[in-house]
Structure 1
Amino acid sequence: MSTSDRRVLLIDTAIALIATRGLRALTHRALDSALELPAGSASYYFRTKRALIEAIVERITSRSRDEFTAAALTPTGTPTPESVAAAIAGRLDRLLADRRDQLIARHALLIDLLDDRDLHAGLARCLFSTERATDLFRAMGAADPGARADDLVAVIEGGVFDRFAGNRTGLPANTPASIDQLTRLLLPHLTV
């Protein structure tokens, strides 16, 4: 296994540990044990817990960036609120289906790192981009696109949290009902 593959495996395992056992379970020793590696292996790749958390933030950020680019959600022409809501709902549904562990780990880290300006800022922006939302509202001809973008991201954050840890945890992702629920949630906030 290459060094970069081993690093990704360690990061993904760290995310899974946080998601299943909580942030306190994240230790170098726990990573070694979970992957059946010799003692000290995880600390060889990530000398400190902070270095590991920085790598987690980068992993979530880069995966989000790659998925956003692949989804081609950049507005062209004049998008309608309905088409934008459906496109974003589809992306959020895939996020809930494919990256649940990342969502849980991110929220655990957000709370734990409130006082760490750098890491908290990176975590706050690693899934949803207010810059892209601002571009979207500009393309839709909205007044005050920056404020609208901030509001939309807040609604998305709350809606996603509700689905993996709140009242709607019973609504399975990757279903038409999931996408419909997310579309209904977003549509009022996209109407210009």
Structure 2
Amino acid sequence: MTTSTPDRRTLIVDSAIDLIASRGLRALTHRALDTALELPAGSTSYYFRTKRALIEAIVDRITTRSRTDFATGQADLAAPTGAPGTFTDSAPDRLAAGIAGWLDRLLAQRRNHLIARHALIIELLGDAEMHDKLASSLFSHRHATTLFETLGASDPATAAADFIAVLEGLVFDRFAGARTGLVPGTAKSVNQLATVLAAQFRAIS
């Protein structure tokens, strides 16, 4: 059975993400991908003529997957029910637990995406369009602002930006920082994330 063109392109892009995660951005070449996928020489360059085209496809892949995951797990990010601006004693813990579960799944299922994204964010600092697209690919400032409006923050936009900075720090700490040994998919992993997030929510209660 032959592989269709869209499937072949996706296979190459996914392999490129894994290659960046395991060997670094400098290792990303058309030849390396052909070798990794056991494809005839020149196959990757047939689908992606330049390295730039390949990187654009990687950014699109990470962004699209993130949107899909966000839509699937959006219930985890919802504010506790109640009138806007209300924040009961249990709300920070419940909200933090939901978001921590979502982050934990991200760490468990998309570690290579996280590593590749971080490498590319640095690489693309001088490319405003690509950098901004990648930088906003995991966490939505618009949705975070809506969340903090619901929670009654005095400055929802700033609270959202600060919260996203915390989320970025939490995931980096887990895939490349001091807590890489903390295994996602465990109660200890979720609790570590939830503890930090709950403190953030209590600060606005």
> Per the shorter chain, which TM-score range?
over 0.9
Root-mean-square deviation over aligned CA pairs: 1.3
Unaligned runs of 5+ residues in structure 1 are none
Amino acid at match of 2:135: A
1:70 to 69, 72, 76: 72
* Number of residue-to-residue matches in the alignment: 192
Q: Determine whether 1:180 maps to 2:183.
A: no
Query: Within 5 A, what are the aligned runs for 1:1-192?
Result: 1-73=3-75, 75=78, 77-78=81-82, 80-191=91-202, 192=204
Cα distance in 1, alignment partners of residues 56 and 118 from structure 2: 15
CA contact (8 A) 1:75 1:139 kept: no
Unaligned runs of 5+ residues in structure 2 are none
CA contact (8 A) 1:29 1:42 kept: yes
Q: Deviations over 1:76-109 (max 9, x none)?
A: 6347322221111101100111111001111111
Q: TM-score, normalised by structure 2?
A: 0.90
Cα distance in 1, alignment partners of residues 94 and 141 from structure 2: 19
DSSP 3-state at the match of 1:152? helix
Shifted more, 44-53 versus 101-110: the winner is 44-53
Q: Deviations over 1:10-42 (max 9, x none)?
A: 010000000000000001111111101111111
Cα distance in 2, alignment partners of residues 131 and 86 from structure 1: 21
Cα distance in 1, alignment partners of residues 200 and 142 from structure 2: 16
Q: TM-score, normalised by structure 1?
A: 0.96
Cα distance in 2, alignment partners of residues 62 and 173 from structure 1: 23
Cα distance in 2, alignment partners of residues 122 and 47 from structure 1: 22
